[in-house]
Structures are given as C-alpha cells and as structure tokens.
Chain A
Amino acid sequence: MIKVAIIGIGKMGISHLSILGAHPKVEIVGVADTSKFSTDMLKKYTSFNIFNDYKKMLESVSPDAVVVSVPTKFHSNIVKDLIERNIHVFVEKPFCIDLDMGEQLVKMVKERNVINQVGYHNKFIGTFEEVKNIVTSGHIGTINHFEGESYGPVVIKRKQSNWRSNPAEGGGCLMDYASHVIDLVNYLVAPIQNVRGTILNSIYSENVEDAVYALLETENNITGSISVNWSDETYRKMTTSITINGTKGKIIADTTELQVYFNTNECPNGYTKGWNIKNITTLSKPVDFFLRGEEYSAQIDYFIDSIIMQNKNRKNTFETALHTDKIINQIKKYKLS
C-alpha cells in the first residue's frame, strides 16, 4: 500500500481524495486544509486523519506521496517542502507562478529522483491519447497548422470574489483554462517556443481576462493559434478541442470525438483514406473507480503506478508543466509589451 496524504480539499482536492479513497493500492494517511468548514465535515463523517496545518501532518504521518491541490500561489513552497523530504508529489495545474522557483523544483526532483506529476488530465483522455499516437506515427505528414480551443461557462456575469479572480494568485482564464490548451499543444504538436501575438479580453471580470487568443510557434517552427473563453455560456461545461493540419491529413479532436482525415491509403491500423470517426466510448480505457471522467482516475492510477513500479513518469512531469508556465508568462508579457 502506498501511504498518500492530501493538502487542499477544495473542488479538485475533494475529487482526488474520493478517487484515492477508493484506490485499492492506496492508504490515505492524512488530509490537510486550512478551511475548518471542510475539515470539520471530514472529521465528522470519515475516518481520515485530519489536519489544519500541513507541516504538522507531514511530521505526524510520514506519507510516501502527497497530492497538492491548493490555490496556485501556494504550490511552490509546499512542493519544495515535500521534495526536501523525498516525498513523491502530484500537484494541481498550473504548476508555478514564479518561474525561477519552478526551475529550482524541476532540478530538485531530478536530483532526488521523486515521482513528480502535474494534473493536466487531458492527456489521459482517450481521444487525445489517440491523437498523440497518430501524430507520433507520422501518418498525418508534416504538420503545418494547429488550433487549440477551450470554452466554458465559468464567469457569465459581472461578479468577482475568490482567488481565481486575482491574477497574482493564479486566477484568470489564461492560468485556469488556457493552460490546458497550451499544455495539450506542447504535448500533441510540439513544445511551443514563441508567442507571435496575444489578445487578452475581459468580458465580465474586472481584474483578470475572461478570454485568451494567441498566435504561437513551436520549437520546430509549426505555427498555430489558441482561442480560449471561459465566459461562453453556450457550453454546458469546459470543452476543449484541437485541430491539426498535416500534409497527409487532418485531425479534429475533442474530449468525446476524434475525426481524422487521411489523403492517402497509408493510414494507421483501423483507419482508411478519407474521414474516420472514433468516439470516446471506444477509445477510453475502463477504470476501477469512476468519479467525474475516466481521465481523473487514470491520472491518479498513473501516479500511484509510477511510485509502485519506481518508474519515472513521462506524462505531466514538473518539467513539461514548467514549460507550459513559461508560455503562459510569455503570453502575458507579450500583452504587456
């Protein structure tokens, strides 16, 4: 059994805790949160060992691994504390606001050989995994354009209140929504290197942007755009998609459906020339416990299995997440300049 503790039981944390709670290879040894309202509830109705101070928890329960799901501005200090104790870390996205600190953490995990994962869950969605396979196989040809999009109804009226509406704390559509799209492009197409243009629009929020549009260029000179808006009420929930144009075909994928066009008969197994459609129902691998989507359980399984097998995780490392943070920063800077 892997001894896991969790710091932060907000929206993401409580879902991670439930998935971990049902995990057959995990023993939850501690739960920490500064909100007494949340911790008192768990004290009353669960058998978890509850703390309001995470440092006390670490001293008291010695976990093998910790899931960190606190507001982004607190990530770096907490994660540093954990790595110094050689504890494996899963931290929510985005990784770090302070890039120098991010660099330091990447260096530390390499030296100390701890498993380090960031919660970019899209990489565990069957449709996007299949896109990765197709792109890697080369059947789409040379990529000449990409478009990453994400829309949802988070801020649909003028009002503001919590840390997500404060840019200094990691709030705003760029950090919260666009980070997913940037990270997905980095993974599926190639790491983004340059920002060629940025529009950050406030629609309802006063302090942060509600929409992000940017022109980007990858390290191998592929250009494309991202279009992200969290104030779009025509979407019932967050909806992320990617389009990739290549010399031998085209891919359009979202979380439910994959559409692929090949212009020759040289296709991967299971595909033919012309349009092919596959759905998440056939592309997603079953999980042992389902909460909000297979991907949320799958990323936790991957983290736990990496610890058990003592394999370095390749997906969603601190290093790849830091690269996403750097591009977020470049987009912000471009806007400022």
Chain B
Amino acid sequence: MDRILFGDNQFFGVNHISETKARAIAIQFKNDKSIVDTIDIAREMDINTFMCTTHDRIKNICDIIRADQSKYEDFTIYPCMPYAHKYANAITEYGIIGTIKEYVPGNLLGSFLKGGMAVVSKDYIAIMELMIDAEMKMFKNIHTPIIFLQNVVTDLLLGLGMKDILKAYHDYIKQKYDAEAGFITMNLPALVNALNEMDIYNPIICSSINKAGFRMSGGIQQYHKTIRNNKMRLIAMQIFGGGAIPAKEAIDYICSIPNINSILFGASSKQHINETANYIKEYDRIYQNEYDLVY
C-alpha cells in the first residue's frame, strides 16, 4: 500500500460539514473530465492509488483510464463496495427481496440462472458473491489489488455478529479476484477483535483516526490500544475530523502514530492536494528522524 491514498467523496457531493459545500462540489465535478483532471493532479504529486466507492459514475472514470493504458500504467484503484445509498433507497422502494431482484444479475425467480437459484435456495453467500461480481464489473482490466467492504456493511455485520459473512467476503475476494479484502469501519476495536476470532491475520482496515476522536467509536484511547497491540495494515481516514482540525495539526498527529501504514484524503483543488501531500511528506521526515535518533 502506498503511504498516501486519494479518496473520492469530494467528487460525489459528500461533505460532512456542509450541504451547501457539498452542492458546490457536486457542481464542480459535474463532468467526468473534471474528476479525471483532479486525479491527474494527485498523480503529479506521486499519489497513484485512488480509493473509490462503486458509484455509477466511477464506471465512466474506469472507461477513461482503460482507454489510456500507457498513461495510467502505474495507476491503482481500491474499490469500496457497495455504494450504500443506492441500496438503501432501493430497499425503501422495493423491500429487501425486491432490491435483490433489482440488483442481483440473472435473478429471475424461477429461472435456473445462478441468481434465481441462490434466492430460491436462500444461499446467502452465493447472493453476496453475485452482488460483489456485479459491483466489480466496472473495474475489469484495472489494477485493483485491494477491494474494500464499506463501513455501513462491515459494521452492520459486526453488530449482528455475522462474522462468517465477513470471512466469506475476505475469502471470495482472494479466490475470485486474486486481491486482498479490506474492511472500512467506524468501530475499529470491535472489528479487530472479530477479525482475530475469524483467523483473519494482519487484516487491511480503513478507519476514522483523528486528533478530535471524531467517529472513533469506543473512544480514542481504545483505538490507540488496539493499534498498538494488534498486527494490521491500517489506513487512516477522516484525519481532519470532518473539518474540525486544522490541516497541519491533523497531519502532525497522524504521522506521529507509528502503526498507521497509509493516509486517505480527498481534496478538490490543486492547492489542497499539494498542501496535504506536502505536510504528510514533511511530518513523515520529522518522525522518521526522531525514530532514527531513538533506535
């Protein structure tokens, strides 16, 4: 995993602190080209990994990337699935079975296609696998070495105690896509325990980590303890605490924690991308020097 990963919230009008800003950004990124241009700006700063939801518009971005293979030779995408609002809105309209009918390919009840059989025989793992395949279609021929499960699903399964499904996701990603499974969570300590119990060693986890303790459920102390005492490959997200922490302070804090492998951030302007990337490089140097002095 690269040290710096580029996120996609800004492209789809997600803003945790203001609906007005969210709309302004949605307008800024109305065209796919404006998204790709921003990704290119990040690449100029040696940020070559794009972590994105399986939003419908990512399909278009993938088309652009596939069409210019030499330009994007070193480019990597970490898909994060599912794009939950699509399903949440669908469940409100169609119900759970209706949503499966809508989104599981080949799922005509009574047909002998895999999807139909899976629903009739209540083969829940097969339904999950079909839904993963449907979400992964858009990434064909794109380098996707890690495939993440979104926090809304990871944490739902965690609360329900459905650890077997987390394990099934982990195993299917490895078997079918020759990739590693990642888990996004808002409940890091609880998730690490659950994955340990399922013998998923050294898991890839992406979690809110920030100086303000924002969305660090169970408390910041518990997070530090979990990070210190467990082997995992950890990606810090929401490092600015949803905008509550000034950039420099936020990054100083994140870089000071030795066991964080990667930092995920999203930004919509060249200035912000450069500023964030430069701060990370600067504080990494400072903490590396301190580390060298101690050991």
| Chain A residues within CB distance 8 Å of chain B | 10-11, 14-15, 17-22, 35-38, 40-42, 44-47, 152-155, 159, 161-162, 164-165, 176, 234, 236-237, 239, 241, 254, 256-257, 279-282, 286-292
Number of A-B contacts defined by CB within 8 Å:
132
* Closest chain A CB from B109 CB (angstroms): 11
Q: Is B253 part of the binding interface, using a Cβ–Cβ cutoff of 8 Å?
A: no
Contact: A14 with B156, CB < 8 Å? yes
Contact with A along B205-219 (1 / 0, CB 8 A): 000000011111111
Contact: B162 with A46, CB < 8 Å? yes
Stretch at the interface among B67-75, B236-244, B277-285: B236-244
- Known contacts A254-B19, A290-B187; is-contact A37 B244 (Cβ 8 Å): no
* Closest chain A CB from B198 CB (angstroms): 12
Contact: B17 with A289, CB < 8 Å? no
Contact: A162 with B20, CB < 8 Å? no
In Å, the complex CA distance between A20 and B160 comes to 8
Contact: B98 with A153, CB < 8 Å? no
Contact with A along B1-35 (1 / 0, CB 8 A): 00000000000111111111011000000000000
Contact partner of A289 (CB less than 8 A), chosen from B19, B95, B162, B217, is B217
| Chain B residues within CB distance 8 Å of chain A | 12-20, 22-23, 85, 88-89, 91-98, 119, 122, 124, 152, 155-162, 164-165, 186-187, 190, 212-219, 241-244
In Å, the complex CA distance between A278 and B152 comes to 26
Contact partner of A45 (CB less than 8 A), chosen from B162, B217, B242, is B162
* Closest chain B CB from A152 CB (angstroms): 8
Contact: A17 with B160, CB < 8 Å? yes
Contact: B89 with A290, CB < 8 Å? no
- Known contacts A41-B124, A44-B124; is-contact A161 B165 (Cβ 8 Å): no
B-side contacts of A46, CB under 8 Å: 160-162
* Closest chain B CB from A156 CB (angstroms): 8
* Closest chain A CB from B257 CB (angstroms): 19
B-side contacts of A292, CB under 8 Å: 152
* Closest chain B CB from A91 CB (angstroms): 18
In Å, the complex CA distance between A15 and B124 comes to 18
Q: Please give me the residue from chain B that is nearest to A47 by CB atom.
A: B161
